[in-house]
A and B are shown apart, each in its own frame.
Chain A
Amino acid sequence: MSTQTLYLIFFGGLFPLMFLGYVLGRQKAITIRSQGIKMHSQPDQYGWFGALYTGLPIITVGVCGVFLYLFGVHAIPPTMLLAAALGVGALTLGLLVKNIQGTTKARDLVEDLIKGMLFTASLVSVLTTFGILLSIIFEALHFFQMQSFFHFIFGLEWSPDTAFLEGAGRADANAAEAKFGAVPIFAGTFYITAIAMVVAIPMGLLSAIFMSEYATPRIRSQVKPFLEILAGIPTVVYGFFAALTVAPLIVKIFAVFGIEAQYQNALSSGIIMGIMIIPFISSLSDDVISSVPQNMRNGAYALGMNKAETIRFVVLPSAMPGIIASILLGISRALGETMIVVMAAGLRPNLTWNPLEDMTTVTVKIVESLTGDQEFNNPLTLSAFALGLVLFVVTLVINIISVSTIRKFHRKYKVSTL
């Protein structure tokens, strides 16, 4: 039997059984009530009670069976599992309906089950974090068993080209040893992020100041959509633009001054990445600046400051923690940005200060090493997870710092949005 028919039978059994549970439960409750016995809950609730508690064992058995299979503990034949699940369901249904009495607290039981379901749903997000963490750490450990951690963090040369030979079992003495020194990659990442920030911080901050302090509500409502569109453009589109419009433009501009630039350069991807982050920083800073109490501004005006001075000497300093947090979030976004750098920054790990040369970043290397045709268990593929681990740790630390800073800031002014 194909997987699809199995699913079909499973759901084809599950929903009718649940429906039957509803109808029978409700019917039983009505019958009991018609005998003049006082019921704890309404008939409908007995119906829901029947339906939900019939579905629960079926799904539990199904999920347990699948997990047993996945963890390789015991492979139950799918048809048997199916029969078991539906059988247990039918049995529960019978028992439930038989045992419904006036004292059965259907309403409370339904409430408990739904609460349990909602709680289970909320676990998914926690499991996701653990899933990311575990999958990365597990594979990264594999990598560090093959390559030294110390060399990975401090090594200056990244030349993994011969790693696949090892993976294929053809490592011979003549082949150059693969080197996994990630410093050029980290340097490229931070350099491009720095270029992006040079664009994004002033532009984002000034936009935020304009939007929250100078703009009238009408101008605000007209300008805001533009920034929202800018924020909604997919990164692959920015990447295309950086690679095919901005990069040739930069080459042309620098050619005028007689400086040779490469078509894949750090500058074009950095600038476009910065523009991508402008709306991000501007909307977060906008919130922060708007939540500075009006009294502080009024106080400054009373002392004879003009508007710009008020903003510079009163509003911005008191909003500073929040602004720094929003910049940090922008940095973490830039560090993890993938498509722009994949398309415009190049693949060569290149340790240089020249922004007109090609460079590579952590995310580019992750994409590059996972899109090839190599076996999964060779150092090159696994290096993606080691790089991913570094990326995860760095962005996580930045996020935690900035989220707690923003929260502290809002608590100070007694506004809570986060």
Chain B
Amino acid sequence: MKEQNDNYFYIPQIKRRNQKAALFKGATIMAIVFSVSFLIFFLVDLGRSGYPAFFQTYVKMEVTINEETVENPYAAVKGKNLKIASRAWLRDLPSEVKQNPTWMNTTREHWVLANSEVDQYVKGKESRTKQNDRDYVDELKEKGFVELKFNTIFLTTGDSKIPENSGIYSSIIGTVMTIIVTMLIAFPIGVMTAIYLEEFAPDNRWTQIIEVNINNLAAIPSILFGLLGLAIFINFFGVPRSSPLVGGMTLALMCLPVIIVSSKASLKSVPASIRQAGFGLGLTKWQIVRDHVLPLAMPGIMTGSIISIAHALGETAPLIIVGMIAFVPDAATSFTDAATVLPAQIFTWAGMPEKAYLERTAAGIIVLLAVLLSMNAGAVYLRKKFERKW
């Protein structure tokens, strides 16, 4: 209170006001810290639950291979071993033997894929393995007969009802095919629309309708594009259900507005003087666009397109509606085959009751996020490298 007299400019509330200001600033910082720490927690949690899926338990055990066990592979391993060996591995044994004829009529030790419950137990997770099987596995472990090997199955097979035999290969192929269709449709149409609206369109009511419509389309929930795909593409045009073709077409329509808006912005940033110079030389509008404006706008267009394609890559809801969550063990070979995509595979696995699918789901997510983040990083790099300030 004494200060009041010393300083003519003293405002009695200044301390409280400054405190409030600091508090407000603190709140804004807290919001950022919240988002960032959520992201870190989220990524760490995913990494922790997905990392083990990249390794799979193998057990060294005696396998008898003869005429009889090729007929009935479940007889190839005996007793307790049968309870820990993977049924999928045994099922594939006859075809393995066909490839390695020297295995015929031998009884020797092989590294056999363990089933998912044993695998979970070895990784120290919750498992439904019975106590005496656990003891047996512990015993084998002490002998050095149990090993965690890098999981190639996860990257080379498709979906399976047997957890240890399931992988993301077929869904990755499905994703690639779907995205190819999306790109082939969305990119040319999007860029053409942007060129029309930015360079050719007269400023009339119809053009305005198109522009407003594009803005609205960008904010329509993605699941409604799925309804469109189902009603128009599948039921009306007769495109095969679950195929990369119909999925790609649906996603293309979803990507279109984003590509159009970013391409338009990119075309707009090319200065008018370039166009005027072209007109001065007697070029037509199309010649100017093709030879001068478009090449200059290309980096921006590419950046926008990559970001929107990356968004489509992670999209699930419309694809579920057009049937791309079908159980697809083998990779699709044509654009009209039934296929599944990585996000849909993640969705399917997340709903599985077996615990072993959980880590595979997380591992699938890690793969998906790695792809998406590198695409986005690539787009940002493109923008940084080729961005021109006029």
Mutual binders A and B: yes
Query: A residues near B, CB below 8 A?
Result: 70, 107-108, 110-111, 114-115, 117-119, 121-122, 124-126, 128-129, 131-132, 135-136, 138-139, 202-207, 209-211, 213-214, 223, 226-230, 232-237, 239-241, 243-245, 275, 278-279, 304, 306-309, 311-312, 329, 332-333, 335-339, 342-343, 363, 366-367, 370-371, 376, 384-385, 388, 391-392, 395-396, 399-400, 403, 418
A273 to chain B, nearest CB (A): 13
Q: Does B200 contact A (CB under 8 A)?
A: yes
**Contact between A128 and B228, CB atoms less than 8 A apart:** yes
Query: How many angstroms between the C-alpha atoms of A288 and B315 in the bound complex?
Result: 28
Q: Which residue from A235, A306, A366, A367 sits with its C-beta under 8 Å from B314?
A: A235
Chain A residue numbers with a CB within 8 Å of B351 are: 343
Question: Which of B192, B235, B350 is A243 in contact with, Cβ under 8 Å?
Answer: B350
Q: CB-CB < 8 A to A136: which residues of B?
A: 224, 227-228, 231
B77 within 8 A of A: no
B42 engages A129 (CB within 8 Å): no
Pick out which of these stretches binds chain A: B15-23, B63-71, B88-96, B158-166. Answer: B15-23
Interface positions of B from 15 to 57, Cβ below 8 Å from A: 17-18, 20-25, 27-32, 34-36, 38-39, 42, 45-46, 49
Taken together as a complex, chains A and B put the C-alpha atoms of A236 and B307 apart, in Å, by 18
Q: A107-B284, A132-B225, A136-B227 are in contact. List 15 more A-B contacts (CB 8 A).
A: A115-B200, A118-B195, A226-B35, A229-B376, A232-B372, A234-B343, A235-B315, A237-B314, A275-B35, A338-B221, A339-B347, A343-B347, A363-B221, A388-B223, A392-B221
Closest A-B pairs by Cβ, 4 of them: A336-B221, A234-B314, A135-B231, A206-B31
Once the chains bind, are A230 and B192 in contact (CB under 8 Å)? no
Q: What total of chain B residues lie within 8 Å of the partner, measured CB to CB?
A: 90
A131-B232, A329-B219 as given contacts; A234 in contact with B227, CB under 8 Å: no
Q: With a CB–CB cut-off of 8 A, which chain B residues contact A376? A: 235
Q: Is B382 an interface residue (CB 8 A)?
A: no
In the complex, which of the residues B30, B213, B227 contacts A388, with contact meaning CB atoms closer than 8 Å?
B227
Give the A-binding residues of B (Cβ under 8 A). Answer: 11, 17-18, 20-25, 27-32, 34-36, 38-39, 42, 45-46, 49, 188-189, 192-193, 195-197, 200-201, 209-210, 212-217, 219-228, 230-232, 235-238, 253, 256-257, 260, 284-286, 310-311, 313-317, 320-321, 325, 343-344, 346-347, 350-351, 358, 361-362, 365, 368-369, 372-373, 376
Do the beta carbons of A233 and B227 come within 8 Å of each other?
Answer: no
B284 and A236 contact, CB distance less than 8 A: no
**Alpha-carbon distance between A125 and B213 when the two chains are bound, in angstroms:** 8
Contact assessment for A338 and B35 in the assembled complex, using a CB-CB cutoff below 8 Å = no
Nearest CB of chain A from residue B317's CB, rounded to whole Å = 4
Given contacts A206-B27, A230-B35, A308-B24, contact A399 B17 (CB under 8 A): no
In the bound complex, what is the Cα–Cα distance between A396 and B212 (angstroms)? 12
Closest beta carbon of chain B to A117's beta carbon, Å? 7
Known contacts A118-B192, A236-B347; A399/B216 CB under 8 A: yes
B313 nearest CB neighbor, chain A only: A234
- A236 and B316 within 8 A (CB): yes
The distance in angstroms between the C-alpha atoms of A339 and B320, with both chains bound, is: 10
Could you tell me if B45 and A241 are in contact, using CB atoms closer than 8 angstroms? Answer: yes
Contacts of A237 in B (CB 8 A): 46, 314, 346, 365, 368-369
Do residues B346 and A139 form an inter-chain contact, with CB atoms below 8 A? no
Question: Which residue from chain A places its CB closest to the CB of B256 in the assembled complex?
Answer: A125
A387–B346 Cα distance when bound, in Å, is 26
Contact between A244 and B314, CB atoms less than 8 A apart: no
Within the complex, which residue of B11, B23, B195, B372 is in contact with A234, where a contact is CB–CB below 8 Å?
Answer: B372
